[in-house]
Amino acid sequence: MKKKIVIISVILLFTLVPVSNVLAFEHIDNIDDGISVFFLVNLEVDEVIEVNVTHANDGNFTLFLFDRRPNKDYINFDKTLDEEIFDIAINYSLAENPYIIYNATQSKIYYFQLILLENGPDTFFLNCNKDLTRYYLPIIDGYHLIFLVTSGLLSISLIVFLRTKKVRKSLSKL
């Protein structure tokens, strides 16, 4: 009888002790003023993601969440934010220690951008409940259509001009 009471007591004790098995992502890096760090994550509908950022010194960090792939960093030359970022981001945090909790509305890839605006360089500690993948914006711009068309027309015009000049010379020799 005493064995049963002890076993039941131990089982009840285990139900009262919380067991936490949290998988988390942590990234530590040191960046300068005006530098962005991008991460991406694939979320399913109704998945909740929590991202928080702390830092070692006095850096002014901001955190943005996008549901489309960003094609630029939205930082002006004077290291201020381009106002367009607030229209494109689906969530953002400008707090001392930026923090975003987001419940995914669509199954897709989401992008996070962490920016150090001032008081850098500083070391940040990014923690997330999902595994994030570091993402780098392509640095090389593509060719502009106007440049391609103009250079193509100039090349064709030069070839036609040289051919007609060569034909005229050969005709004048006859």
pLDDT at residue 21, rounded to an integer: 45
Q: What is the pLDDT of residue 18?
A: 59
- Short-list 126, 40, 36, 137, CA closest to 81: 36
Residue 78: the pLDDT is 87
Per residue of the chain (174 residues), what is the pLDDT tens digit? 677 776 776 666 666 665 544 457 888 999 988 888 999 999 999 999 999 999 998 889 999 999 998 888 888 888 889 999 999 999 999 988 999 999 999 999 999 999 998 887 899 999 999 999 998 876 655 667 787 788 888 889 888 888 887 777 776 766
Quote the pTM value: 0.67
CATH 2.60.120.380 for the 23-142 domain, yes or no:
yes
For 41, 76, 90, 120, the CA distances from 129, given in Å and listed in that order, are 11, 31, 19, 27
Model pLDDT, residue 46:
92
The predicted pLDDT at position 171 comes to: 67
Residue boundaries of the structural domains of the chain: 23-142, 146-174
**Residue written as token pair 């060719």:** 143
The residue written with tokens 């993948």 in the block is: 133
Element (H, E) at 5: helix 2-16
